Amino acid sequence: MFRVAQSLDDYVKAVAVRAIVFVGEQGTTYTIERDEHEHACVHILGEIDGEPVAAGRIRAVDGCAKLERLAVRKEWRGRGHGDGLIEFMMHVARDLGFTKFKLHAQVAAKGFYARHGFAVVGDTFIEADIQHCLMVKEE
């Protein structure tokens, strides 16, 4: 179901999932959702029967694998795809040599990331007009 994006088509599908979730559902602007780091990331796509349902990206930041833009389309949530996505992303990051992970979690989702071993570090902050917190995991 999950794979590293290998083609332009894979990348377009991943960006489409992100646009549906972040721009369509959460009201983030396109200019915030797509940034200058886009081409320096490993992009992850989750598909079911050719339908793109989940996406994320991994970016090297200060010796950590920063997991970013994790998204599962609304109609596919509640089926374990978010768990599968984050576990797959950490697996890919490990294969790239990372043992430290970090992410900016939306405060409403911090319990989800805590179940995967992430811990909150510091205070909450606003990113894309949504409250977030830094969460880290080290193996």
pLDDT tens column, 20-40: 999 999 999 888 898 999 999
User: What's the pLDDT tens digit per position in 75-103?
Assistant: 999 999 999 999 999 999 999 999 999 99
Mean of per-residue pLDDT scores for the chain: 95
Provide the CATH number for the domain formed by 2-138 in this structure: 3.40.630.30
Output the DSSP codes for 49-75. TTEEEEEEEEEEETTEEEEEEEEE-GG
Give the pLDDT score at 83. Answer: 96
- Where are the chain's structural domains? 2-138
Burial of 117 (0-12, 13-18, 19+ CB in 10 A): middle
Give the pLDDT score at 139. Answer: 87
57 pLDDT exceeds 90?
yes
Output the DSSP codes for 76-131. GTTSSHHHHHHHHHHHHHHHTT--EEEEEEEGGGHHHHHTTT-EEEEEEEEETTEE
CA–CA gap between residue 12 and residue 97 (Å, rounded): 27
Give the pLDDT score at 32. Answer: 87
**Could you give the percent of the chain with pLDDT greater than 70?**
100
106 pLDDT exceeds 90?
yes
Q: Are 19 and 30 in contact (CB under 8 A)?
A: yes
Say how many CA atoms lie within 13 Å of 65 toward its Cβ. 26
135 pLDDT exceeds 90?
yes
Q: What is the rounded average pLDDT of the residues 8-13?
A: 96
Give the pLDDT score at 129. Answer: 86
**Could you give the percent of the chain with pLDDT greater than 90?**
92
